[in-house]
Structure 1
Amino acid sequence: MIRKTLLALVVLTLLALGGLYAWGLSIPATTKAERVVQFAATPEQVHARISDVRGQQEWRSDIGKVEVSGDGQRWAEFPDDGSTLTFRLIESRHATTFAITYKSSVGFEGLWRAELEPKGNGTQGLFVEEVTIPKPLLRGIGRLANPSGQHLDLYLKDLRRVTGSQ
């Protein structure tokens, strides 16, 4: 009886993994999330928060620690989930643009970009996050565990809070 139960569990596990793999094959390797957000703060203030990577562990709810290279062009974030994200600065223009690439220890990579412009007494920001998950099985698992845009939404919630824009 125990052997049949174990065999059934193995077969069910293989079917589930096969289903996740097949679903992952049907999902595009790269997904894109875009958000337009209004801030009560000036573009200079919003850009200062975004570009101060050393200070992000103080206001982001999902980051435990940040380690920045000597030149400030590369850094690593250590989220509370135990993973590691490494970043490289692509572009930073005062009060207008901040763009980075990133790679995760759990099998995904991407591009993140913020475009800021004055709007009324504050700032309008366009935030774009592209995530690429090359392996189909990880795409299936990733889509279940972290739907497209979920991380960006958390980041923007924290950014709105710290800029007094809620």
Structure 2
Amino acid sequence: MEKIKESTIIANFCSPIETVWNIVTDNTAYTWRSNVVRIEVSDDGNRFTEFTKDGFETQFTITMKNPYERYEFDMKNKNMNGHWIGLFSKDGSGTKIEFTEEVEVANPIMNLFVKSYLKKQQETYVIDLKKSLGE
């Protein structure tokens, strides 16, 4: 594997932390996500697989779930391995999120573009989340 690439996005929402947390961590409710067509969740809820519109799948294993504070998982697909950290904090009556993705990509060509790809994915996620919250 190549060097780890990292991307962080920080966003603020007017919605209460409980609402933001519940939307982000409920892997059975994904219709608000514009780039995901299906998510399969394991019986124990600790693993899930996301499927994109073009059929690409990524597997996730939840490694930490500290309600209203921290949510983490490992992720893996045919192109990369990585880890995702979601930090949640109250911001007045609203919520601040800080989401960081760290990935390793085996393909040296893909490695050149992975950071910009991660940024775009994170921006899409925040836009979708704001829409879901009605903000």
TM-score of the aligned structures, taking structure 2 as reference length: 0.90
Match of 2:11 in 1: 37
Residue 21 of structure 1: aligned partner:
none
Q: Deviations over 1:123-154 (max 9, x none)?
A: 011111112102313324xx18x634111111
Q: Which runs of 5+ in 2 are unaligned?
A: none
Instruction: Find the counterpart in structure 2 of residue 155 from structure 1.
Output: 125
SS of alignment partner, residue 76 of structure 2: strand
Equivalent position of 1:130 in the other structure: 102
Q: Normalized per residue, which structure has more strand?
A: 2
* Aligned alpha-carbon RMSD (Å): 1.6
Deviation at 1:31, TM superposition (A): 1.2
Letter in 1 for 2:66: R
Q: Please list every run of 5 or more consecutive structure 1 residues that lacks an aligned counterpart in the other structure.
A: 1-27
Number of matched residues? 133
TM-score, structure 1 as length reference: 0.74
Q: Which has the higher helix share?
A: 1
Q: Higher Cα Rg: structure 1 or 2?
A: 1
* Cα 1:77/1:148, change in 2 over 3 Å: closer
The 2-side partners of 1:37 and 1:125 are apart by 5
SS in 1 for 2:117: coil
